Amino acid sequence: MLEKLKEMIEQLSEKDAKTWLRLTLLRLDQLTKIDVPKEDIIEEIQHIVQIIDHQPPPRTNYDMIHIAGSESTAGSLKVGLERNHKVIGFWEMFDIGPLGDSSTRQEWLQDHINIFEDFFEEEFTSKFKKAIEELNHIPPHIPVILWTADNAHEQIFHRYILHHLRNSDNEVVLINATKGYGNLPLSKHFVPAHSGEIMPETLKVIFENESENILPINARNQLSDEWLQLKGTKDLLRIWKNEEIQGVPEEYIDQELLHCAQKVQRDFAENDFVKAARIIGEMHGQLEGEFNTAFLEYRLRTLAFEGYFKIKGIPKSMRHYSVRLKDREGEHA
């Protein structure tokens, strides 16, 4: 098995190898976050290996185009769907930062969010532009399946895409993966807030159930207009609450973050320094993924700079530094 795997990897181009490695890591990350049994994770990895082993030549004709707001969702769709379905995946975080001017947005993300400069250039700029080019070259006769879910980023994302497609003749089916999952005869203890949390085979079932629900033109235009309204706002943090996108202050979760840090520090570090990644992981789980980890790290780092924490290490990523809450009355920087 190991020798065969080596041969498969040798036959992949550098681009394809990076794509499949990224997909595998994304799936592992998502599966561990939602507490999937180890056996299912192993089965998922074996499934990816089988797909790599049977990679056919790339095709140029497709029956449907799927558009997803994350690489994780795009990867799952590529695994779960047949080859006559093309998937375009975007890398973005529409729930944070300014939405108006693209250069202002990029500058804010670079200044506030811990993304390495080279990574930012590759992921945000190059990949986003490539996805837009693919979007611009969709033939008018091919139906578009646009994926969303009950979270601020994907809700804003599908409005952005519908504005981009406003003058296109393509039929558009909008699938809310959260609601589609809720309609399945599955255990109700798990409610996926993000489409990327759903297994490939389940996304396929959701697609089959929802694929006939074509979005009317008036609904498309309304959602497109809502994107323009969002672009005009000054909010730097947006949440999905009561079935609508709401702008909230940057400090919206600061108190919860401080309480979480206090608990983690007490339970895992005996009131000593604790890794930032540990606090952010606990907070992400506590909030059920409502906020992305990059934003949580930004707020933790900001609170440290404002004097709520002592800091050890260089905060170039959540794994490179530790924090300890200060005694606000008796301890000084």
Q: Are 52 and 78 in contact (CB under 8 A)?
A: no
Q: What are phi and psi of 309, to 5 degrees?
A: -125, 150
Buried b / exposed e across 203-217, counting CB within 10 Å, b at 16+? bbbbbeebeeeebee
Report the pLDDT averaged over residues 88-95: 92
Amino acid identity of 37? P
Q: Are 254 and 264 in contact (CB under 8 A)?
A: no
Portion of the chain with pLDDT greater than 90, in percent: 58
Pairing between β-strand 172-176 and β-strand 85-89 as defined by DSSP bridges: unpaired
Pairing between β-strand 309-313 and β-strand 274-275 as defined by DSSP bridges: unpaired
Q: Tokens 């994302």 belong to which residue?
A: 157
The model's pLDDT over 11-49, given as tens digits with 9 standing for 90+, comes to 666 656 666 676 777 767 666 655 666 676 677 777 777
- Spatial distance between the Cα atoms of 101 and 3, rounded to a whole number of angstroms: 50
Portion of the chain with pLDDT greater than 70, in percent: 80
pLDDT value at residue 31: 62
Q: Are 156 and 238 in contact (CB under 8 A)?
A: yes
The model's pLDDT over 120-179, given as tens digits with 9 standing for 90+, comes to 556 667 788 889 999 999 999 999 999 999 999 999 999 999 999 999 999 999 999 999
**Which range (32-36, 132-136, 217-221, 226-230) has the least confidence?**
32-36
pLDDT value at residue 281: 92
Structure-block tokens of residue 233: 């706002």
Answer positive or negative: Cα dihedral of 139, 142, 143, 148.
negative
- DSSP for residue 77: H
Phi and psi based region of residue 79 (left: phi greater than 0; alpha: psi -120 to 50; beta: remaining): alpha
The model's pLDDT over 278-319, given as tens digits with 9 standing for 90+, comes to 999 999 888 887 898 999 999 999 999 999 999 999 998 888
Answer positive or negative: Cα dihedral of 51, 52, 56, 59.
positive
* DSSP per-residue string spanning 250-278: GGGGHHHHHHHHHHHHHHHSTTS-EEHHH
Q: Are 182 and 272 in contact (CB under 8 A)?
A: no
SS3 content of the chain, % helix, strand, coil (to 5): 55, 15, 35
Indicate if the pLDDT at residue 59 is higher than 60.
no
Reported pTM: 0.80
Amino acid identity of 153? H
- Spatial distance between the Cα atoms of 27 and 48, rounded to a whole number of angstroms: 10
Q: Are 306 and 292 in contact (CB under 8 A)?
A: no
